[in-house]
Amino acid sequence: MSATPDRLILFTRWPEPGSTKTRLIPLLGPEGAAEFQRRLTMQAAHTVAAAGSPRGLSREIRHAGGTESDMRRWLGAGFVYRPQGRGDVGARMEACFRAAFEEGAQRAVLVGADIPALTPAIVARAFEALDRCDLVFGPAADGGYYLIGATASGFRTSSDYLGSAISWGGPDVLARTLQMVRSADLTCTLLETLADVDDPAGLPAALRALCRGEGRPARLSVILPVLNEAGQLGRTLAALGPRHGLEVIVVDGGSADATLAVARAAGVRTLAARSPRSLQMNAGAAAAGGGILLFLHADTRLPQGFQHQIREALARPRTAAGAFHLRIDAAGRPLRIIEAAANWRARFLQMPYGDQALFLGRDAFWEAGAFPPIPIMEDFEFVRRLQRRGRIVLARGSAVTSARRWQRIGAFKTWLINQRVVIGYCMGVAPERLDAWYRPKNR
């Protein structure tokens, strides 16, 4: 790397499912957590690329996992890529600073990839602070730090603050570090405190910041969890109509048919996320850019004008979420009775099910805890949570869902199975056992 006075280093990981953002895996699944890590890193890389310095700035990405060619294909040619190396996080950061100063840099700043509110202006202030002191830190809300910068002279005086005496990941990382800095008679400056995101509690604020930084134009994100739905998906996507201001994300649970080919032919975004459906929907929500989320089954078609109807419904006072009226795509009096019962339940008990296309604001979704990671009844449990936050309203139009579930074994028998599952869930039967009751008969 050519010698420049300032070096900016991004610490990140290759988004390998199962080994990244592990505390988010129970809610998003391995693939969803890795996709979220990918999204965080892409924004952080954009921030690093946009940062500048009047003295001249070199930009480096230190990565854990993946190869240099993997990283370059992913994030582009504007960076020098190097592996983070071995040891704890302190040892790896120390090696980065040591290499920067040995190669001629006079100031170096290292940032993490999981701070979506980080901006080029904050990076610029970090370098400016190093004109007046030996070290600069960006405090993280969890007690650690998202940014550390050092001068060459300050680093050579002491780097004990990166040593093994720090319990990395604990709530007092920054406090312990500052004690060591003072003991070494080094001077330092603190920047503003920002929130990182390592667990589900940080998702609402993180996603707000990500969407602002990405500048996505979508107002509404439609999320479709799918598994072997090649025969239904095309009609569902076609019914969405023009996609101005609309983002469509198909989250595939491992289809063995042409489902993904149908989605790609329709020009929509596709993600992979393993079943159950709750994890697929949560993964899609974490990848979405819209301020409103709509969860749509692959065999359900929305009415014309659904975007306007959704905004109209959510504008009603004290509304937490909404859904559409249910219409089943087949003739027969038993199905009309089932429709009427479902719409009565949704209107008067405020308990719509997933086949009625639930919709709500992005913040409300995450603040309510997202869909619980259970194999069945995830929509039922999620709506019960939403009821504690406000009203669940019905939009004017109807979502038209396929009659295949009722036609497979008969409308009345299907209804009985569904009621048995609901009653069992309310009585505390484990969702895994309920899924075993339901799946062989009704899927």
> Is 375 within a domain?
yes
Is residue 76 scored above 50 in pLDDT? yes
Please give the average per-residue pLDDT across 386-412, as a whole number. Answer: 94
Residues 67 and 143 in one domain: yes
The reply to whether 195 falls in a domain is: no
Same domain flag for 132 and 172: yes
Q: Per-residue pLDDT averaged across 221-227, rounded? A: 97
**160 or 319, which is more confident?**
319
- At residue 216 the predicted structure's pLDDT band, cuts being 50, 70 and 90, is low
Classify residue 158: in a domain, yes or no.
Answer: yes
Q: Is residue 357 part of a domain?
A: yes
Q: Which residues contact 344 (CB under 8 A, 6 or more apart)?
A: none
Q: Are residues 222 and 103 in the same domain?
A: no
Domain range for 81: 6-190
337 within domain boundaries: yes
> Poorest-confidence range of 320-324, 370-374, 410-414?
410-414
Verify that 246 and 303 share a domain, yes or no.
yes
Contacts of 422 (CB under 8 A, 6+ apart): 377, 380
Same domain, yes or no: 223 and 311:
yes
Q: How large is the average pLDDT for residues 90-117?
A: 94
Same domain, 284 and 433: yes
In a domain, 199, yes or no: no
pLDDT band at 3 (very low <50, low <70, confident <90, very high): low
pLDDT mean over 277-286: 97
CB 64 within 8 Å of CB 112: no
Mean pLDDT of 316-334: 96
Above 60 in pLDDT, residue 430?
Answer: yes
Instruction: Verify that 306 and 405 share a domain, yes or no.
Output: yes
**Mean model confidence pLDDT for the chain:** 92
As for how many domains the chain has, the answer is 2
Is residue 320 within 8 A of residue 389, CB to CB? The reply is: yes
pLDDT at 443: 47
Shared domain check, 240 and 167 = no
- Which CATH number belongs to the domain containing residue 430 in this structure? 3.90.550.10
- Cβ–Cβ < 8 Å for 248, 222: yes
Tell whether 242 and 166 lie within a shared domain. no
**Do 101 and 176 fall within a single domain?**
yes
Boundary residue ending a domain (190, 208, 228): 190
* Number of neighbours of residue 23 by Cβ within 10 angstroms: 12
Q: What is the mean pLDDT of residues 420-443?
A: 82
Residue at 120 is within a domain: yes
Q: Please calculate the CA angle 311-314-320 and round it to the nearest 5 degrees.
A: 150
Q: Could you tell me what percent of the chain has a pLDDT over 70?
A: 97
pLDDT at 441 over 60: no
Give the chain as a 3 state SS string: CCCCCEEEEEEEECCCCCCCCHHHHHHHHHHHHHHHHHHHHHHHHHHHHHCCCCCCEEEEEEEECCCHHHHHHHHCCCCEEEECCCCCHHHHHHHHHHHHHHCCCCEEEEEECCCCCCCHHHHHHHHHHCCCCCEEEEEECCCCEEEEEEEHHHHHHCCHHHCCCCCCCCCCHHHHHHHHHHHCCCCEEECCCECCCCCHHHHHHHHHHHHHHHCCCCCEEEEEEECCCHHHHHHHHHCCCCCCCEEEEEEECCCCCCHHHHHHHCCCEEEECCCCHHHHHHHHHHHCCCCEEEECCCCEECCCCHHHHHHHHHCCCCEEEEEEEEEECCCCHHHHHHHHHHHHHHHHCCCCCHHHCEEEEHHHHHHCCCCCCCCCCHHHHHHHHHHCCCEEEEEEEEEEECCHHHHHHCHHHHHHHHHHHHHHHHCCCCHHHHHHHHHHHHC
Local confidence band at 218 (pLDDT 50, 70, 90 cut-offs): low
Q: Which pair of structure tokens corresponds to residue 321?
A: 């979420």
Boundary (domain end) residue, out of 151, 170, 190: 190
Do 225 and 119 belong to one domain? no
CA distance 422 to 383: 13
Whether residue 217 has a cis bond before it, omega within 30° of 0: no
> Per-residue confidence at 19, pLDDT binned at 50, 70, 90?
very high
**pLDDT at residue 166 in the model:** 78
pLDDT tens profile 337-358: 999 999 999 999 999 999 999 9
Residues 138 and 273 in one domain: no
82 strand-pairing partners = 62
The pLDDT of residue 294: 98
Give the end of a domain, one of 150, 175, 190.
190
Give the pairing of strands 358-361 and 220-226: unpaired
Query: Is 186 part of a structural domain of the chain?
Result: yes
